[in-house]
Structure 1
């Protein structure tokens, strides 16, 4: 079966685990549809994303691992990470309240960080799809691998631009969080994830793109999306905690 077959088989087995967890979560919140509608719809979205992923995964196989289809598969995965992180946060902290915990300027920087994260991940997907790990060796068409056709080195440079913008915005968030004495742990978590991600990215680019580092880079992309999601959610108070002590005037 080979290593690729083992990975594919393991991925399919984990799909069943995800289905069980998603069903259990949905059943846990279905009775709370009126009192906590956000939990109901988040759990519903989580459950729907799994069969959507299965369909896209099947299409990726039928198209011989076309990098654009595989990239879409990863986009849905990171979206699922964001949805699940939101579900966990809302479950632990209660529904979101209207009160902001940070000034308007900080919220603006957070929004810029979200945009930079999205661009970084999307360009990163295209970069990976242009490289040597975009598909298996047998995924050929007329003697050519199914890849994006973009210049890998050019894509690496393009990928670095939003990544460094994201890192700069995160530094602003960390300094601001320390000065405001709020959200520092989430801003620091995001900074640490980005620092490791940049280190892995630079290392893989300079060592011939070893498959282990490329895989690590992709896992860290998921952690990045999760960390950004929690940071965004934490900028507003929730009904489950007394936020008035932390509230900062705009």
Structure 2
């Protein structure tokens, strides 16, 4: 490597790599999918921190203790769990970095995909800081809820980026009518409300995230009615299920393309599974394993809804140009 190469790599490493490497379309798609999968993994492991009472396993931030950057043997199991989850943030950053490098090196360069990648990176940075605040304020349930909601925003960006890797850059062309699109947006809005109320159920529920007595969500000096909030969450879940079934019925009635139908069917099946887990965990006093499964289900429901939204339009891939045919007269003149 020459001195000029070193200077160029230091000045703009992404452009330097892009000049020397062109990934296949499948490599790009896999890199972006990996960032989406890793985002879901870190949501579930974050839930494991709470469910094992390890939320303050590292009692400070950004170091694990005032004296140590890492967990120590004296901190035991909870310190290992909390510090391990913090380390997974670096893994997530590395996976997102790989996705950014892959989309930046693709030919032709699709600037919109690179922006999605950087949006993921900065959301992770913001959520890392928020996670530190969660620790510093002693697992205040409102900050914990905000931490999960920001992770949901990260999942949304990662899902959109994954979808865009399988599309072209042409203007989107709708595949369904306006009324169907409006129904999907209502479904999306209710799902957002469902997820938000789910964080309230968590914040008012028994799993505080630490072995000590962590205050739960309240209204003034009065704690929230956990049973009432849980029932509201269940009602919203049934509304989402009903809207999804209605959407599937409407799409069948208007003979919609296969894409929206398939994504709606997938969402309906995920909702049924998630609802089953939710009811079982409620009637079995919230066992930790089922709560973790429900958190994973929440991620999958959100991804499913977003895939339904993104299936309502298409961005055709550019067709490869056919070589210009040369007639016999031109050949004879050569």
Length-normalised TM-score, structure 2: 0.66
Secondary structure, aligned partner of 1:69: helix
Aligned residues: 237
Question: Which residues in structure 2 correspond to 1:1-250 (within 5 Å)?
Answer: 1=75, 4-30=78-104, 36-95=110-169, 97-138=171-212, 140=213, 145-149=214-218, 150-179=224-253, 180-182=255-257, 183-240=260-317
What CA distance in whole angstroms lies between the structure 1 residues aligned with 2:178 and 2:293? 35
The structure with more radius of gyration: 2
What CA distance in whole angstroms lies between the structure 2 residues aligned with 1:92 and 1:59? 37
The aligned residue for residue 44 of structure 2 is none
Q: Which structure is higher in RCO with an 8 Å CA cutoff and minimum separation 6?
A: 1
CA deviation vs aligned residue, 1:223-249 (integer Å, no higher than 9, x gap) = 11111111111101112289xxxxxxx
What CA distance in whole angstroms lies between the structure 1 residues aligned with 2:77 and 2:124? 24
1:134 shift after superposition: 2.7
Q: Is the 8 A contact 1:66 1:135 kept in 2?
A: no
The Cα RMSD (Å) is 2.1
| Unmatched runs of 5 consecutive residues or more in structure 1 | 243-250
The aligned residue for residue 9 of structure 2 is none
CA deviation vs aligned residue, 1:197-228 (integer Å, no higher than 9, x gap) = 11111111111111111111111111111111
| Unmatched runs of 5 consecutive residues or more in structure 2 | 1-74, 219-223, 320-334
Secondary structure, aligned partner of 1:51: helix
Q: CA distance change for structure 1 residues 47 and 224 in 2, over 3 Å: closer, same or farther?
A: same
1:90 shift after superposition: 0.0
Secondary structure, aligned partner of 1:93: coil
The aligned residue for residue 67 of structure 2 is none
* Stretch moving more, 28-37 or 38-47: 28-37
What CA distance in whole angstroms lies between the structure 2 residues aligned with 1:87 and 1:193? 21
1:161 shift after superposition: 2.2
